[in-house]
Structure 1
């Protein structure tokens, strides 16, 4: 992937200034530099005047805090160029404007891909790297760009724990950059750093979904995402990132990627607990030589553990931490994603409500042809606009900065979220045009205007046909809506979230569009037919068929999803385990309701063939079935958002542990800001 330099972010660094002269030694290779005389220091300080002062280097900076000067490889192990100058059209030696400073750094390797090196054997879990990072970036207690998690296994007396320190890996293929709808991310030719601009971000959190390493951090208090910036201000003057300099166990190191640090013998791309590097090609390398047990568990409550395969690699497997008992836990269906539950369902209902009768009329189905030519078609179009507008409004309320919603169209080149929003916005706009074109042919509207202004408009509009224009705008709305639905599905085809990354997602979205659309359209259509004194049977038969088709599509997807996840031993299988235990009874209820909908829908189809069935009874059954379908859809979509388990890094017992966070909220511990547990809403 070429280096993206789109909408350069303003790079800021929280720096504690020290009132000393600038001091940047040419090469810090021994501790003898600490014993220089004051006169020598003054002379060197004088030589450094005029050079970059992004970071006022302390005169007692330790030797290990400086970047080494070594020869680098031409390509990394993924075949990507390490020298990034050739991948960008930007001038070499440009300023990064760190803290609005126009000076250019003095690092001779500033245009090469850098990365972290983590030696798991040396990490003692002291969290000094976390503290240094948070202090430098002035992070609140509930936020950390670098985190230390644990995996452990074995039995006494041979019980072992491995600590893992992880931040942003500044990947070759940064999925956060491609997924962000606002283009808040940029991969720089300088150091290969993937930087994010919080001032461009509107807090949707999509980057936190797609990243497998939990690098972008959504602050629910500020409503913005921020992340590790590779300490580029320190790199500009030859210093390693703050977390590396603070590491007391010499576990973290940093430099040009693929350069194995001194006294290291491995340069691996993965260790136990690290998600597959094939997702993003991260720029981090590992060493782990100490023998570990064949099975390692996480100390957080995520039902995932890691088992060593025949090749010696650790693969995720389901860890049945909570047994197999089924529970309801209906209260846990309430989550931060509630606006997205409503957004997706309302948008899909709006799409189905308009597209079903419109395509039916184009297909020559008499009932729909009559309906689209009647006065009731305009109210249906307006109802679709209302449903879509409510859905889009709910999606905006999910943002941390709702008034920046317009930035969601910035990344149409890459982001499926941008394309989804654009498609649905075009659908709404086209329906608006369609409703305007329908006004002259709607006798209710013309009659109302006649009464208001006292002018007979019937003769003025008689003979004026806008039908071709209505078909054109309606056809465009259909294409835009289907495109929006397609990219809505693409938003959830995320490698870092296996529970979503399945064709069941598209069957759910399409199935709900058909069933909910048939439900809403059916109510309007039945009112229309009843007002005109026509029979219900033909309309109910067609809409009932569409309803049953939607339920069948969703059922087939759920069956396939269940079969696949029952065989999966990854995070998707772990999410299914939670679905069958923590939410087991709720999951069964949704499935039973879906079966009930299918059964009653088929029964409705059969009763529509019987001539002597009361129409009022038929309408009552249809309305009851619609209500049950709404409950089914809401439960299913809430489970969809609550169950997903990402391929994220292991947490600690307290920190980065969803179980502890919930406990802290339950007992009131989360009310203390120093606890590090943020509120659910943003």
Structure 2
């Protein structure tokens, strides 16, 4: 069967759901009818799930008849059968069974319906889901959180049961670099293959509903699969069938279940449906207080607006007192801190002197023609390789890193990795073309009896260096662009700001100028180069990078000081829990800008007074001052990047007081409670 197009998600639909690899093994027996009174006598139905002999009526999928709409409220088709090339005779191959399902609605978009008024918070849906999928205690595809508000005696709590919403625009599918996700025409399910996944966790960043679950023990992601094997025999998903309060229902989307009067797309605590266009509908008719708070440690609450909609607002749970919290900057994202800083420094180290030479800057032209340019290229290559290695160590399955290029069509992470891999490759080619004309390389090879004179005299190596250098620069800049795009995530407003780009570009300039200048200073010990001109040129670029980063931080601060969403909540944590660390970073950055500007001005004035000598009276002291500024910049960059990764608060669903509560998880680790697997707190294995 050929693959088919699903609008708004991907261009391909897997022909076999069994290929996805997320279904529990089932027994091949005669399945029960989707009508309770028939029992096990119906023949000809697909045998994918063992139906109990006396299955209750509420466990079966409803028959929408002719009530099903053509399009949902987002303008996407509900009936997906027209998008397939061969709807007749198709097989799902669920659990290896080739029989074709007879459900007449299997090619229509299905979804969950949650009635908040009915949910009693018993967690039966969680238990049924985990039992069916054999999940460990620290993993749950469906979870129940809650928000509460009011005061005694009118205190109210609203429970929210949430799993994957099998969205019309699944950002997990587009973000996954390994193409582990597929949007199927059958039931509209978004399925994920844990065996394809290499555990980067990017899908857990982009999903606003905390649906994909990264297992730190197994080093891979898995998620709700809509129980499509149960759907094939007419049964609702396990979580729906287990619901005690009739709060969960399931069927063709936009069909309001029986005895329901609402079909809303949002509820207090639910992120904006515009991010992914989720296939879940809500009913909530009971009155709620004007303000609803979360019981987990996330500093967000929800306030009712004049239009009756609840919107997020910063909840100042930790007060206004500021702390250092330096130990908390150490996290599982440390490899990404090093990866981004190393790669950005490598880009600047190579591109700054190379582009300067191409634009005719005399200092850079002399440096590029010197024997020290080859070591600089090799240093850039080494930094990039080390950075890429650090990014691989962040993966749950690092030996499957090569799968990161599978989704170049959609994933910015795939494009980032591909651009940086090309940057490394072209740097390597540049180094190979530079080697024959390098004096030190020739001396070493001559001692081994090899002579490269003929090679350098017959081949246009200089032109080759320019070509490979340009290709390296272009691919490196593309990698930097997509590195920024990786963090432009609607589900993480704290990152989804232009300050991310200014931080990356600013660090590339400041760190790159710092490393390049250091190499050029070393070159003066073996080759005569205009030292002070080089220091001034690199100093100007260094200062420009600091200013660019500072402008972005000022804009970021202004935006989220006024913001009341999760981005504002992250900024609140930045100014309180990490307030002293944040202040230290800002002070160091300001001091660096002033010091670098002062050094530039002093150097310019001295050199302009004696243009013939192009020297400064106290060169050692001048260079020590620049070295001190560079060291401070390195510390500032490390602190800033650690804050970047540790502070972000996603637009995720509310947790409970214990379950899905990061604060409780950390407390459980601190006191040793996490050592008991039944606590449900994952070990920090990865």
CA drift of 1:456 comes to 4.9
| 1:225 pairs with 2:225 | no
Q: 2:303 aligns with which of 263, 286, 307?
A: 307
Say which SS state the counterpart of residue 240 (structure 1) adopts.
coil
| 1:640 pairs with 2:644 | yes
CA drift of 1:516 comes to 0.4
Q: Which residue of structure 2 aligns with residue 13 of structure 1?
A: 23
Q: 2:542 aligns with which of 542, 547, 550?
A: 547
Say which SS state the counterpart of residue 476 (structure 2) adopts.
helix
CA drift of 1:596 comes to 1.6
Say which SS state the counterpart of residue 96 (structure 2) adopts.
coil
Q: 2:531 aligns with which of 510, 523, 536?
A: 536
CA drift of 1:6 comes to 5.3
Give CA deviations for 1:510-552 in whole Å, capped at 9, x if unaligned: 0000000000001001111343234421111110000000000
Q: CA RMSD in A?
A: 1.5
CA drift of 1:15 comes to 5.0
| 1:277–1:460 Cα change, 3 Å | closer
Higher mean alpha-carbon deviation, 298-307 vs 77-86, is at 77-86
| 1:288 pairs with 2:284 | yes
| 1:199 pairs with 2:195 | yes
Q: What is the TM-score when the length of structure 1 is the normalising length?
A: 0.95
Q: Note if contact 2:25-2:95 (Cα within 8 Å) is conserved in structure 1.
A: no
Q: Which residue of structure 1 aligns with residue 603 of structure 2?
A: 608
Q: Which residue of structure 1 aligns with residue 45 of structure 2?
A: 51
Q: Which residue of structure 2 aligns with residue 376 of structure 1?
A: 372
Say which SS state the counterpart of residue 542 (structure 2) adopts.
helix
CA drift of 1:99 comes to 1.5
Q: Note if contact 2:33-2:234 (Cα within 8 Å) is conserved in structure 1.
A: no
Say which SS state the counterpart of residue 531 (structure 1) adopts.
coil
Higher mean alpha-carbon deviation, 480-489 vs 523-532, is at 523-532
Equivalence map 1:412-491=2 (5 Å): 412-453=408-449, 456-458=451-453, 461-462=456-457, 464-491=459-486
Say which SS state the counterpart of residue 159 (structure 2) adopts.
strand
Q: Which residue of structure 2 aligns with residue 581 of structure 1?
A: 576
Q: Which residue of structure 1 aligns with residue 609 of structure 2?
A: none
5+ residue gaps in structure 1? 34-40
CA drift of 1:106 comes to 2.1
Q: 2:629 aligns with which of 625, 628, 634?
A: 625
Q: Which residue of structure 2 aligns with residue 560 of structure 1?
A: 555
Q: Which residue of structure 1 aligns with residue 234 of structure 2?
A: 238
Q: Which residue of structure 2 aligns with residue 37 of structure 1?
A: none
| 1:25 pairs with 2:19 | no
Q: Which residue of structure 1 aligns with residue 172 of structure 2?
A: 176
Higher mean alpha-carbon deviation, 519-528 vs 279-288, is at 519-528
Q: Note if contact 1:11-1:98 (Cα within 8 Å) is conserved in structure 2.
A: no
Say which SS state the counterpart of residue 281 (structure 2) adopts.
strand
The CA distance in 1 between the partners of 2:337 and 2:466, in whole Å, is 32
CA drift of 1:457 comes to 4.1
| 1:92–1:644 Cα change, 3 Å | farther
The CA distance in 1 between the partners of 2:196 and 2:516, in whole Å, is 40
Q: What is the TM-score when the length of structure 2 is the normalising length?
A: 0.95
Q: Note if contact 2:436-2:452 (Cα within 8 Å) is conserved in structure 1.
A: no
CA drift of 1:149 comes to 0.3
Q: 1:677 aligns with which of 669, 674, 681?
A: 681
Q: Note if contact 1:328-1:586 (Cα within 8 Å) is conserved in structure 2.
A: yes
CA drift of 1:616 comes to 1.9
Q: 1:215 aligns with which of 208, 211, 233?
A: 211
| 1:354 pairs with 2:318 | no
Q: How many residues align structurally?
A: 665
Give CA deviations for 1:561-615 in whole Å, capped at 9, x if unaligned: 0000001000000000000000000000110111121112112212323244322
The CA distance in 1 between the partners of 2:88 and 2:583, in whole Å, is 60
| 1:11–1:456 Cα change, 3 Å | closer
Q: Note if contact 1:12-1:99 (Cα within 8 Å) is conserved in structure 2.
A: no
| 1:26–1:655 Cα change, 3 Å | closer
CA drift of 1:459 comes to 6.2
Give CA deviations for 1:182-214 in whole Å, capped at 9, x if unaligned: 000000000000000001000000000000000
CA drift of 1:103 comes to 1.6
Give CA deviations for 1:245-270 in whole Å, capped at 9, x if unaligned: 00000000000000000000000000
Equivalence map 1:65-84=2 (5 Å): 65-70=59-64, 71=66, 72-84=68-80
The CA distance in 1 between the partners of 2:437 and 2:31, in whole Å, is 80
Equivalence map 1:117-196=2 (5 Å): 117-196=113-192
CA drift of 1:649 comes to 0.1
| 1:460–1:132 Cα change, 3 Å | closer
Q: Note if contact 2:494-2:570 (Cα within 8 Å) is conserved in structure 1.
A: yes
Q: Which residue of structure 1 aligns with residue 258 of structure 2?
A: 262
The CA distance in 2 between the partners of 1:438 and 1:182, in whole Å, is 36
| 1:256–1:331 Cα change, 3 Å | same
